[in-house]
Amino acid sequence: MTYTVEIYESASDAETAIEAETDTLEQVVPYHEGTALRFMVITSAT
C-alpha cells in the first residue's frame, strides 16, 4: 500500500478530484498558504 498526497488550490478542485478518486480516501487537510486556502488530499492504494 502506498500513500499519495495531492494539493488543490480551491475547494471545488478538491471536491472534483475526490469525487473522481478510485483509491481509498484517507483524509482531507485544509491549510493556509499565506492568505490562500489550500486542500491536501491524502489517498492510499494497494
- Spell 10-21 as b/e; 16+ CB within 10 A means b: eeeebeebeeee
d(CA 21, CA 10): 17
Residue 25 is a binding residue for other proteins (CB under 8 A): no
How many residues make contact with other proteins (CB under 8 A)? 18
Residue 38 is a binding residue for other proteins (CB under 8 A): yes
12, 24, 25, 30: which one binds other proteins (CB under 8 A):
30
All three cell numbers of 6, joined, read 495531492
Binding site for other proteins (CB under 8 A): 1-5, 7, 26-27, 29-33, 38, 40, 42, 44, 46
